Structure 1
Amino acid sequence: MSRFGSRAAAFAALLLTGAAPAPAPVLPPIAKPLPAPTDRRPRATVVLAPYRYDDLLWENDRTAHRIYGRALEAAEPPSGSGVDSWGKNVPWAFADRQLRTGDQHAYHGEGLDFYNVGTARGAGGLGVWQDNKLWTSRNYAQFRIFKNGPDVADFEVRYAPWPVGVGHAVSETRRFTLPLGTAFTRMVSTITADTPGPLLIGIGIGKRTTLADTDGALTVDRARGVLSWWGPETGDHGRMAIALRVDPAMIADIRDDADNHLVLLRVTPGRPFVYYSGSAWSLGEGGIRTRADWDRYVADARLDFTPPKEAN
């Protein structure tokens, strides 16, 4: 919806209910405008950024993300397999133009990156929980893009084997699917292990942003498989909101480590399982302005946890 459409909808709501519409968010000052987009239509897209160590970027009209390539491990250590989430306040694609500025952490008029992933799990990265510790992979090793919009971004990445404890290793293939009109990316993960038996997989929400070294507020609804995080206020950057939705029948525990809020799932190696990662910006698209807005949106989303017949 265009800004004009949003204003018209707000005015119509005012006429029907008599309630004043929520005030428009106050955005940060623009450091330097981005180059103009070639297409202002809403689009779901996935883009490889070889100019930036093979970051993979995906976004739709409401949310934007990236994961990191292997080259970044040497260029900017430490680096890991967490999922980054960006705020955006335009319905068209902006992440590739933002990243090309080399200044993605500043506001250039369309969005910005201020969620701090580091070696944490970010918005839905995972690891194996063993010996009271989360064992995680390095950055993605391979990728395949299945569909680059306009209605859906759909791709797959493979993570090279990584150690779990002493003498054991696992690897992962994960498919990411983000259609238009939602804050949730559907993720289908298949874990392969070199030993038989079930695993505990910890899926996480990183606790910090780049401008605030404090945690936000977490809402947990175990019965519905919901973890909903409302990030700390970060000056004129507002707040990031992150959520996980999992099949509640798979939950073994919900707990924290130093960097993450974690939901632990019982997983059978070789068998794909589905979970969802969502994000929003308190100043961005989608009208999420408060913790209550975010919790309500996350809880009400109708999501399908049925695994595909084939993992790949």
Structure 2
Amino acid sequence: MKKLFLLIAAVCACFACTESKTVTVTVANPTDMQRDGEMVEVAMSEVTGKLNLADTAQIIVVDADGKQVPYQITYDEKVIFPANVAASGSATYTIKAGTPEAFPVKACGKYYPERVDDVAWENDLVAFRTYGPALQASGERAFGYDIWTKYNTTEPVVEARYAGELNPETLAKIAELRKTDPKAAQELYRSVSYHVDHGNGLDCYKVGPTLGGGTAALMVGDTIVYPYCYATQEILDNGPLRFTVKLVYNPLTVKGDSNVVETRMISLDAGSHLNKTAVSYSNLSSVTPVAVGIVLHEPDGDVTTDAANGYITYVDPTDNVNNNNGKIFVGAAFPATVKEAGTTLFSDREREELRGGADGHVLAVTDYEPGSEFTYYWGSAWDKADIKSAADWNSYMAGFAQKVRNPLTVTVK
């Protein structure tokens, strides 16, 4: 009898041990909005500790129906995965040892030294780029983020666009044709250029010497201290669900502080129209206004500014309004209180100096505290893709702002 009891106890202990080798993640939604596809983060140390896994072991994430969910382990040792949570409800996910299924890459990017040090990235919905030191060395002024439109596919497209635009053999052929047959040269150029829509979108957004599609910059009085191009870049995450890049900028002089260095951490998750960006400024000695700006390409454009609810939007006419390029919706959202938001037009002198057709900015301004991190979200949509109207975009942005101000809560057991 004693042996039978010990056997049962051993079996129960093994069963309990097996049962304990799962991690239960409960995701609660504090809002009355359905929350689909938002990325949940769990510290990898919690997972490995609870599962008692070796560093080389693999894990899987499954939903309440036992279906595998795509995940990524980020540079800062977090397990991230998309969660779907009903309004004012909760959802449960399980992490355990196992062999994950192959999931498609939905967020990725690359450094392009061959294109004056661009860094360009995308997810299944949108694409962006920022400019580097080789462009700055050329004398061209481009301070802000660039927006590339994307539709008809959830696959990565940016690398193929660069390959077409920069192919040396094609460029040489175009150069030769320009000498003898300019029309044929133009046709060949258009067949490979990313400024032409070949069925999945194009680059039809004009940045110029402005804040472009949502860049942050310090302000001294009413003057924007433009950050110019990044000095160094480091890609930290490259899919399948999140792209992250760290950008460090050249020193600036701000209000007598002569060595102010800006650092940006930009990340884009699958399924989101907006990038998360955390900005910090070293060697800044006093509280200084920081503005997030969207360039205006018409003085009386379709602008919405809602400081109280934490978002700004603008409907951009694209860089060629007569080319059937549609409308680009641009916006920024803020987890923290925005001090003020509105439209600022350039003076005649500024407009002449910029020479880029820009009329001003939509600005959201708040105060930056030295030693802190200023976090906000910026991004875009296109009326030829999933968001068709300004009203739909404003609804998306208002909802996004509410979500970042009321994040999903995650409990790990």
The two structures have a TM-score, normalised by structure 2, of 0.59
Structure 2 residue runs without a partner (length 5+): 1-102, 166-192, 347-359, 408-413
Cα deviation, residue 170, structure 1: 2.2
The corresponding residue for 1:43 is: 106
Q: Is residue 2:293 matched to residue 1:204? A: yes
Q: Is residue 2:287 matched to residue 1:178? A: no
Give the length in aligned residue pairs.
Answer: 259
CA contact (8 A) 1:215 1:232 kept: no
Cα deviation, residue 74, structure 1: 3.0
Question: Which whole-Å CA distance do the structure 2 matches of 1:224 and 1:185 have between them?
Answer: 18
Question: Which whole-Å CA distance do the structure 2 matches of 1:170 and 1:239 have between them?
Answer: 37
Give the counterpart letter for 2:327 in structure 1.
R
Q: Is residue 2:204 matched to residue 1:105? A: no
List per-residue Cα deviations over 1:68-87 (Å, max 9, x = no partner): 01101233x33233111111
Give the counterpart letter for 2:333 in structure 1.
R
1:232 to 300, 317, 338: 317
List per-residue Cα deviations over 1:148-183 (Å, max 9, x = no partner): 001111111111112335664522111011110110
Question: Which whole-Å CA distance do the structure 2 matches of 1:131 and 1:78 have between them?
Answer: 26
Name the one with the larger helix percent: 2
List per-residue Cα deviations over 1:253-308 (Å, max 9, x = no partner): 54414231111111112211210002011112xx21111111111111222599xx
2:382 to 281, 288, 302: 281
Give the counterpart letter for 1:198 in structure 2.
V
1:266 to 354, 367, 373: 367
CA contact (8 A) 2:125 2:154 kept: yes
The corresponding residue for 1:296 is: 395
Q: SS in structure 2 opposite 1:98? A: helix
Give the counterpart letter for 1:276 in structure 2.
Y
Q: Residues 65-214 of structure 1 correspond to what in structure 2 (within 5 A)?
A: 65-75=128-138, 77-89=139-151, 90-102=153-165, 103-164=193-254, 168-194=258-284, 196-208=285-297
Question: Which whole-Å CA distance do the structure 1 matches of 2:289 and 2:309 have between them?
Answer: 19
CA contact (8 A) 1:80 1:137 kept: no
2:303 to 206, 218, 232: 218
Give the counterpart letter for 2:370 in structure 1.
P
Structure 1 residue runs without a partner (length 5+): 1-39, 307-312
Question: Which whole-Å CA distance do the structure 2 matches of 1:95 and 1:215 have between them?
Answer: 32
Q: 1:297 to 1:253 in 2, by over 3 A?
A: closer
Q: SS in structure 2 opposite 1:223? A: coil
Larger Rg: 1 or 2?
2
Q: 1:167 to 1:188 in 2, by over 3 A?
A: closer
